[in-house]
Amino acid sequence: MPPELDAALLRRWAETAVARLRERAGEIDGLNVFPVPDADTGTNMLLTMEAAVAALAPGGGPGRDTAAALARGALRGARGNSGTLLSQLLRGVADAAAAGEGLDGALRRATKLATAAVAVPREGTILSVLAAAAEAGTEPAEVAAAAHAAVAATTGQLAELSRAGVVDAGGLGIAVVLDALVEAVTGTAPARGPVRPAVRPSDALTTARESGSPDYDSEVMYLLDTTSDEAVDALRERLTELGDSVVVVGDGTGTWNVHVHCSDVGAAVEAGIEAGRPHRITVMRFVAQQFRRHRAVLLVVAGAEAAALARNAGADVLETRPGHAVTGRRLLAAVEETGAAHVSLLVCDATLSNLAGRVAAEARDAGREVVVVPSTSVPQGLAALAVHDLDRNPADDVVAMAEAAAGTRTGGLVVAEQEALTYVGRCAPGEVLGMSEGEVVLIAPDLSVGALWLAHRMLTAGGELVTALLGADAADELGEHLAADLRRTHPAVDVVVYRGGQVDFPLVLGVE
């Protein structure tokens, strides 16, 4: 029986799609040949999907509302040709949900919308993959399989792909998103191997991101409202005269996303003014970027010493202070101060994850790529930073950092200020609570004993490295005794102790 695209499934699908695109963005970037070989298709689709998820409201609600939020977020956060067309898949889902249709209706609508959005439709692209998926029926597994078969066929459909010996990068991205639906429904990801080029692309086809079209030097994108269907049609024709890679798509509520590669930026914007009200205008120069550097990693860190550790390891740092909340304005300013075109953001605090998503979406609207790497603690941030490599593809680097953070278990000690009932019993004022992954797991008589008990408990599941961060008021002996005990009881485990300077936890532990 075909699954119902309700709110829970749609959210699960979108979040799974983000995870799978994050894993494969580097692979998809490496296949990027058409329409411009700028090696960013996978990254653009990932950023677009992240923007869609960031637009979701907390909690439940009707499926049609969730679908509409995803479509709206994707359209407003769409990056590049591929991201703009991906937004039309979600627009098709939203329109189908509003009409009471299922997956097949959503894919038919998406195909029609995406095809209408492209000034010069071509076989062997996202459009071909969407069309094949739409014809496959209502079962997600069959739809995804049809999409992958269509991806394999793209090499022979488009001359640019055939010369390079690759499949269409955007089409593969769509197939990955449909695989995510299968996983969201069944709980099991389809087994797919990496897609490798049939021949090694030439250096001209593996240039760095935004190396640019040989004919046009800029990518212009903006949102457009206060317009009409007739004005949008005229705008699409005008942009086709000015450049290529023209895509104009709507969210169904009167807002349009406009994309074009051209050299006359002013004329592209003026065309938008004639058609309606352009806003969130983004111009990316293919040749001369407007940023001081290509990439940066930004950590949000509590504690002066921990902030210094992160800086020494090559990160930009937003240091938080006790009693001062991290606001969206402050976090966005820190992102902008990096001066980087691509920023990997680690907030090192679970309570800041939603804020980070909103700030990333706002920064992307201004033309900066910001990817939030999930992290809930400073040890996770430091672990991610330890594997950061500027020589690696940005998407692959994000995946490596995310895996390092996810592979780091975090715990900490706090001193009880009053009597309370915890998951492991009643504590008295002055006793030490051991926390692991957000829950109280032990009660100890003092910090020294608590540190030993907590470390031993966290190492029960294994580990190769223990990182201890001493709080602002913690004595050096606390770390020294812990390190000595662990070297005696777990000789195969490396132990490093730093002063972190945090005021909320006398000791924070990370186990990798």
Q: What is the dihedral of CA 383, 384, 388, 393, to 10 degrees?
A: 150
**For 61-206, where are the E strands, in sequence order?**
none
Residues 24 and 117 in one domain: yes
DSSP-assigned letter for residue 292: S
* Total tally of structural domains belonging to the chain: 4
Radius of gyration from C-alpha coordinates of the chain: 25
Dig out the tokens for 383 from the structure. 């672990």
pLDDT at residue 29 in the model: 79
CA distances from 386 to 352, 398, 498 (A): 22, 12, 15
Residues 364 and 429 in one domain: no
Identify the segments of the chain with pLDDT beneath 50: 198-212, 287-289
Residues 231 and 342 in one domain: no
Which CATH number covers residue 256?
A: 3.30.70.100
Which CATH number covers residue 357?
A: 3.40.50.510
pLDDT at residue 377 in the model: 92
Q: What is the dihedral of CA 121, 125, 129, 132, to 10 degrees?
A: 50
Which stretches of 135-245 are DSSP H helices?
140-153, 159-164, 169-186, 229-242
DSSP-assigned letter for residue 439: E
Range of the domain at 480: 409-511
Dig out the tokens for 220 from the structure. 């212009």
Residues 297 and 283 in one domain: no
Residues 331 and 402 in one domain: yes
Residues 243 and 110 in one domain: no
pLDDT in tens, 88-111: 999 999 999 998 888 889 999 999
pLDDT at residue 192 in the model: 80
Rounded to whole angstroms, the Cα distance separating 69 from 236 reads: 26
Output phi, psi for 171, to 5 deg.
-60, -40
Asked if 46 and 395 touch (Cβ cutoff 8 Å), the reply is yes
Q: Strand pairing partners for 346?
A: 299
Residues 236 and 161 in one domain: no
Residues 87 and 155 in one domain: yes
pLDDT in tens, 130-169: 999 999 888 999 999 999 999 888 888 777 777 777 888 8
Q: Where a domain ends, among 156, 188, 204?
A: 204
Which CATH number covers residue 414?
A: 3.30.1180.10
Residue 231: exposure state from Cβ atoms within 10 A (0-12, 13-18, ≥19): middle
Rounded to the nearest 10 degrees, the angle between the axes of helix 169-186 and helix 126-134 is 40
Between β-strands 277-285 and 369-372, what pairing exists: parallel, antiparallel or unpaired? unpaired
Q: Where a domain ends, among 386, 406, 426?
A: 406
Rounded to whole angstroms, the Cα distance separating 17 from 377 reads: 25
Q: Strand pairing partners for 344?
A: 297, 371
Residues 27 and 176 in one domain: yes
Residues 300 and 273 in one domain: no
Instruction: Output the pTM of the full model.
Output: 0.55
Dig out the tokens for 291 from the structure. 């940023």
Which CATH number covers residue 135?
A: 1.25.40.340
Residues 7 and 142 in one domain: yes
CA distances from 426 to 435, 443, 445, 475 (A): 15, 9, 13, 27
Instruction: Please name the residue that has the structure tokens 């990370």.
Output: 510
Rounded to whole angstroms, the Cα distance separating 18 from 23 reads: 9
pLDDT at residue 5 in the model: 83
Rounded to whole angstroms, the Cα distance separating 330 from 279 reads: 23
Output phi, psi for 427, to 5 deg.
-110, 155
- Kindly state the greatest CA–CA separation across the chain: 77
Nearest to 451 by CA among 430, 478, 426: 478
Q: Where a domain ends, among 271, 288, 305?
A: 288
CA distances from 444 to 221, 307, 387, 479 (A): 58, 29, 35, 16
Residues 341 and 235 in one domain: no
